[in-house]
């Protein structure tokens, strides 16, 4: 419209919005005088030019600077143009306000998700009630993967298919993912029949859906991990959706067995009681959330926490110092991951609204170290079931050896490939097939690498007497984390490990021994 007016009148036209506007000096002076006098229109002359101004709204004005003599119909034309122009500007402002409101709601939903993943159920429920709908309990979590830029449309479809009863949040880490908390009466009725997942993949192009088991809201972190693992399976299926496979998650098995809470609280006690030296530094709860995010999402934790990667690296170094861990080692990562999952509400989490019944008071005379926790018969049985597919009839040749080498080298592809005598792409292909076999995600976070390490350690302990000298164990050192000794040259660049789980490397592809490449 402004371009048309300028061409029609043969001069400069524009919208001035108060201080900071750019334009001819005569137009700016006219706008200032019009605002000072509180009038709706003004005309100023200077030399051979005339400025015509008409008020819009919000302190803005439509202005034109024309050479004299100008078209006598110019004032009427500008007055008429001011009406639709004001409507356009109001529509643009309404659009910006709607976008800001949408961003605020999206951030609030992210905050609810963050609270759920850190065991703060009461606060999460309060915020969710204000946003609507209420958080379902019990529920299933659906992780919906869609095309880039289509999350808004898939969100609308989810709302329609669930009658507005599902609680939907855009994943803050993966830009193609939606996380949907669905009431159990709307969710999957069996592993082979899931009307909601089927409807989603039927109407959304290139959509894949992973579904958790039925869980309670307090188990949301485990449910999300289950749905993410199921998504890894769904991508390779014709129907493009899958429900979480066999076997409980480790923390649920440990909780059911009543073991590990005391050990976890003891391990995390320095973090829970950490007092920062400066008020602006992160406290124990913030460091705990940082550790949880990094263990789940590696370098992508910066997106979840909304912090710079240097800030993340600094916090990880502080966590290492406070807990006496080496987070470049997979064993230490696995121990910390399990401890965090066994204490979802933080220090002293009880059976109240923000806890799940495990805390300082529930540890009793339980195991004093990780090995003691993993020796529990229930966890030994869990480990055997967890690892059984690697040596089962459907396992490709060398599956167990590949996983063992990968875990031995801290889930780093480059040294694992070298140990196996394979290329990095070939090793990645092997692990991709193991993902299909285990129905767990390995190469993309959240990864099952921590549970695999713990399962392998539990299996080792299950075949050893309790008084075995740890110094004679090839994969263990003493201490709360029961991790292996790693030489500096084995780990590569420590900064890379702390930034995320590295997977770089090039080479000729190599497949399974005796199988297709």
Q: What is the pTM of this model?
A: 0.69
Q: Tell me the C-alpha to C-alpha distance, in Å, between residue 124 and each of 118, 128, 136, 277, 396.
A: 10, 6, 12, 29, 44
Phi, psi of 398 (to 5 degrees): 80, 10
Same domain? 240 vs 268: no
Domain count, the chain: 3
At residue 22, the pLDDT reads: 81
Domain extent at residue 79:
2-93
Same domain? 210 vs 285: no
Please measure the distance between the N-terminal and C-terminal CA atoms of the chain and give it in whole angstroms.
Answer: 62
Tokens of residue 212, six digits: 């958790």
Q: What is the DSSP letter of 135?
A: P
Same domain? 365 vs 426: yes
Same domain? 332 vs 470: yes
Same domain? 266 vs 211: no
Domain boundary among 198, 216, 245: 245
Return the axis-axis angle of helices 74-117 and 2-9, rounded to nearest 10°: 160
| Prior bond of 384 cis (ω within 30°) | no
Is residue 47 classed exposed, middle or buried when 0-12, 13-18 and 19+ CB atoms within 10 A define those classes? exposed
Cβ proximity of 178 and 155 under 8 Å? yes
Same domain? 346 vs 454: yes
Cα R_g (the chain), whole angstroms: 30
CATH of the domain at 135: 3.30.70.270
Same domain? 239 vs 286: no
> In terms of Cα–Cα distance, which of 300, 293, 274 is closest to 285?
274
At residue 119, the pLDDT reads: 83
Same domain? 324 vs 462: yes
Domain boundary among 182, 217, 245: 245
At residue 192, the pLDDT reads: 61
In a domain, 386, yes or no: yes
- Per DSSP, what are the bridge partners of residue 43? 52
Q: Which residues of 378-387 are buried (b: 16+ CB within 10 A; e: fewer)?
A: ebbebbeebb
pLDDT in tens, the chain (517 residues): 889 998 988 899 988 886 657 888 888 888 888 888 888 888 888 888 899 999 888 788 999 999 888 888 899 999 999 999 989 989 998 999 999 998 899 899 999 998 998 888 999 999 999 998 999 989 999 999 998 888 888 999 899 988 999 999 999 999 999 999 999 887 655 556 788 888 888 877 789 999 998 899 998 988 998 999 899 888 888 888 888 876 666 776 776 667 788 999 999 999 999 999 898 889 999 999 999 999 999 889 999 888 999 999 999 999 999 999 999 999 999 999 999 988 876 655 443 444 443 333 444 457 788 999 999 888 988 999 889 999 988 888 889 999 999 999 999 999 999 999 999 999 999 999 998 888 888 998 889 999 999 999 999 998 755 444 443 333 333 344 444 333 333 444 444 445 444 333 333 333 333 333 3
């Amino acid at each position: 419209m402004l371009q048309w007016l300028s061409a029609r009148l043969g001069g400069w036209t524009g919208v001035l919005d108060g201080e900071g506007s750019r334009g001819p000096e005569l137009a700016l002076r006219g706008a200032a005088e019009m605002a000072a006098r509180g009038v709706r229109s003004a005309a100023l002359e200077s030399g051979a030019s005339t400025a015509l101004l008409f008020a819009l709204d919000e302190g803005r004005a439509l202005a034109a600077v024309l050479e004299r003599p100008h078209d006598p119909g110019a004032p009427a034309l500008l007055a008429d143009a001011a009406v639709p122009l004001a409507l356009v500007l109001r529509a643009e402002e309404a659009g910006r306000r709607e976008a800001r409101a949408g961003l605020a709601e999206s951030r609030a939903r992210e905050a609810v998700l963050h609270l759920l993943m850190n065991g703060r159920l009461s606060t999460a429920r309060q915020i969710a009630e204000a946003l609507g709908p209420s958080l379902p309990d019990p529920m299933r979590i659906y992780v919906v993967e869609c095309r880039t830029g289509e999350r808004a449309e898939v969100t609308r479809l989810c709302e329609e298919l669930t009658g507005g009863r599902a609680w939907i949040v855009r994943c803050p880490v993966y830009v193609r993912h939606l996380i949907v908390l669905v009431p159990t009466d709307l969710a999957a009725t069996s592993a082979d029949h899931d009307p909601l997942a089927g409807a989603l993949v039927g109407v959304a192009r290139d959509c894949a859906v992973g579904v958790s088991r039925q869980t309670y809201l307090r188990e949301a972190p485990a449910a999300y991990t289950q749905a993410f693992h199921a998504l890894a399976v769904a991508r390779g299926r014709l129907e493009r959706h899958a429900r979480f496979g066999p076997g409980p998650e480790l923390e649920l098995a440990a909780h059911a067995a009543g073991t590990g809470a005391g050990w976890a609280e003891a391990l995390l006690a320095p973090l829970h009681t950490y007092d920062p030296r400066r008020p602006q530094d992160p406290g124990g709860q913030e460091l705990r959330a940082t550790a949880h995010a990094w263990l789940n999402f590696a370098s992508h934790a910066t997106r979840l926490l909304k912090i710079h990667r240097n800030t993340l690296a600094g916090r990880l170094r502080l966590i290492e110092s406070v807990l006496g861990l080496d987070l470049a080692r997979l064993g230490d990562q696995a121990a910390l991951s399990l401890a965090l999952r066994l204490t979802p509400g933080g220090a002293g989490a009880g059976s109240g609204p923000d806890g799940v019944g495990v805390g300082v008071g529930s540890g009793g005379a339980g195991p004093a170290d990780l090995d003691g926790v993993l020796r529990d018969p229930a966890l030994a049985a869990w480990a055997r079931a967890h690892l059984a597919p690697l040596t089962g009839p459907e396992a490709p040749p060398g599956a167990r050896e590949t996983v063992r080498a990968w875990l031995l080298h801290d889930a780093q592809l480059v040294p694992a490939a070298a140990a196996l005598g394979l290329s990095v792409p070939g090793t990645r292909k092997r692990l991709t097939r193991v993902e299909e076999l285990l129905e767990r995600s390995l190469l993309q976070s959240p990864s099952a690498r921590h549970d695999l390490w713990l399962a392998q350690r539990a299996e080792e302990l299950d075949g050893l007497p309790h008084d075995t000298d740890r110094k004679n164990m090839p994969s263990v050192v003493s201490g709360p984390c029961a991790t292996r000794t790693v030489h500096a040259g084995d780990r590569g660049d420590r900064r890379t490990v702390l930034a995320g789980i590295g997977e770089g490397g090039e080479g000729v592809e190599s497949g399974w021994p005796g199988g297709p490449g």
